[in-house]
Amino acid sequence: MPIICCGINHRTSSLAERELFQLQRYELAKATADFKRISGFEEIVILATCNRIEFYCKNTIKIDPKDAVISFYKERRIENTKQLEDIYFVRHGTSASRHLFKVTSGLDSPLLGEYQVLGQTKDAYSAACSVNGPSKYLHKLFHHAFHIAKLVRNETDIGSGIQSLAGASIEMVLDHFNRNLKGKKALIIGVNNSTEMLLSRLANEGADITVTNRTYNTAVKVARPYNASVVQFEVMPSVLKEFSIIFSVTSSPGYLIKPECFIDKSSKSIIAIDLAVPRDIDPLVGDIDYVTLLDLDDLKVYLDKTQTTRAVDLPYALDLIEEQVRIYELWYKSAVGESSSALRELLEIDRKEILSRFKESFRQGDQKALDAMSKNMYRQFLRRINNTIIKDEDGG
C-alpha cells in the first residue's frame, strides 16, 4: 500500500528543533499545493499542529519522501536541512494509516486523548481539499480517521477530564499558585482555538483577565462574554509586569516577549506559559529570578507524570484502531484492483484465527455452525467493501 506518512513530531524532536520547520494554519493550503508540485506525489495532506508537521502522501511510483520534504523546505528558504534529517521519520502502508488514526484519536499527543487535534486534522484536510491535495485514497483514509476518533471518544474514557494542552497548562498554573487564582491578573496574548478555553477556565477560577491581539476588534469580541479587559497589542510589552499570569498563543514568526520587557525590578511572582510554535517568549526570560517560564516541552513532562489513569483504556482503543486499519487495508486492496482471492485469503486467515480462540467454548456440533456463519459473514463483508468502492467511484 503506497500510502506514506513522513515529517517531524514531538516524539522525534524538541520544540526548539521543530520551530524552524513550523507551518501555520493559514499557510496549509498553499503549502499543500507547493509540496504536491515539488514532490510529484499524486495525493497530499499536510497536518501541522504545535506538536507535529506531518505529510500524508500517496503515489503509484517510487518517490523518496525525505528528498521531497527537503526540497520543499529549501524552496521556503530554509537551508538547515541537516537538522531536519536528524529528526525526520517516515512510515509506509498500514503503519502510516495506523499513525494517522492514533493522531486523530489523541493517542499520539503529549496529552493522551487530546480532543483539539481532531479539529486541527479536519482543518488541515479541508485546507488540502481546497487545492485538490487529496483524492480517492487519502479522502477515504482521512474519513476513516475521523470515524475512529469518534469511536475512541465514545467507547473509552481516554478523552475524559482535561481535553487540550491549553487546559493542561491551566492545571500547571493552578499548581503554581496553590490552586487559587482568585484576583490574580492574567494576560492572554493572541486569539486562536485555545483562547476561549483559557478565558473560560480563568474566569471560572476568579482571575482578573486581559486579552490582547494584533487585531483589536477580534480581542474585544472574544473577551466580551467573559467580562475580560482588552489592551492594545502595541503597548503589551510595556504592561507585562502588571500580570501574575501570562499565556501566549500567537502565530508570530519570532519572539514577542524579551527579557527587557521585565527590566524593572519586581517582587511579584510571574508565571508565563508559551503555547506557541514558534515560541513567542525568548527562553532567556526564564533566567529572570521572579519569572517562571514554561513551554510545550515542559507541558509534555508534566503530562507524562499525570495521565496514568487515562491509559487504562488504551489497549481497547488500540484494538479499535487496529480494526479500522484492517478495514482500510482491505478496502485499499480492492480499490487498487488486487484479486478477490487475495482478499479472501486474508479474511480466511483472520477467520480461522478468531475461531481458534473460542474453540473450547463450544460443542463440536456448534463449531460447524460457527464455521459456516463466519464464512457467510466475511463474504457479506467483501460485498459491502465492493459496494463502498462503487459508491466512491460514482461520487456517491
Residue 145: give its domain's CATH number: 3.30.460.30
The one-letter code for the residue type at 129 is: C
Decide which of 202 and 313 is more confident.
Answer: 202
| CATH number of the domain residue 264 falls in | 3.40.50.720
Cell of 270: 510571574
Residues 10 and 122 in one domain: yes
Structural domain of 95? 3-155
pLDDT at position 305 is 74
- The answer to whether 46 and 31 are in contact (CB under 8 A) is yes
115 part of a folded domain? yes
Tell me the average pLDDT of the chain.
88
Residues 112 and 14 in one domain: yes
Domain closes at, from 273, 301, 329: 301
Confidence label for 396 from pLDDT (cuts 50, 70 and 90) = very low
Residue range 180-185: mean pLDDT, rounded:
95
Q: Above 80 in pLDDT, residue 246? A: yes
Residues 136 and 54 in one domain: yes
- The answer to whether 291 and 270 are in contact (CB under 8 A) is yes
pLDDT tens figures, 14-51:
999 999 999 999 999 999 999 999 999 999 999 999 89
Domain closes at, from 135, 155, 175: 155
> How many whole angstroms separate alpha carbon 371 and alpha carbon 368?
5
Confidence label for 157 from pLDDT (cuts 50, 70 and 90) = confident
Percent of the chain predicted with pLDDT > 90: 61
362 part of a folded domain? no
Domain closes at, from 301, 317, 335: 301
183 part of a folded domain? yes
Confidence label for 55 from pLDDT (cuts 50, 70 and 90) = very high
pLDDT at position 376 is 75
> How many whole angstroms separate alpha carbon 67 and alpha carbon 85?
10
335 part of a folded domain? no
Q: What b/e readout covers 188-217, taking b as 16+ CB neighbours within 10 angstroms? A: bbbbeebbebbbebbbebebbbbbbbbeee
From residue 258, give the alpha-carbon distance in Å to each of 31, 33, 236, 263.
30, 36, 12, 10
Give every strand in the sheet of 270-274, ordered side by side: 229-230, 208-212, 185-189, 245-248, 270-274, 291-294
Residues 140 and 209 in one domain: no
Residues 71 and 26 in one domain: yes
pLDDT at position 338 is 55
Residues 116 and 147 in one domain: yes
Cell of 90: 517516515
361 part of a folded domain? no
Neighbours of 125 (CB within 10 A): 25
107 part of a folded domain? yes
Residues 215 and 77 in one domain: no
pLDDT at position 116 is 87
pLDDT tens figures, 275-313:
999 999 999 999 998 999 999 999 888 887 777 767 788
341 part of a folded domain? no
Confidence label for 390 from pLDDT (cuts 50, 70 and 90) = very low
55 bridge partner residues: 6, 46
Residues 88 and 211 in one domain: no
Which uninterrupted H or E stretch holds 247? Answer: strand 245-248
Residues 100 and 217 in one domain: no
Residues 189 and 150 in one domain: no
Tally the domains of the chain.
2
Residues 36 and 113 in one domain: yes
pLDDT at position 82 is 83
pLDDT at position 211 is 98
333 part of a folded domain? no
Residues 173 and 248 in one domain: yes
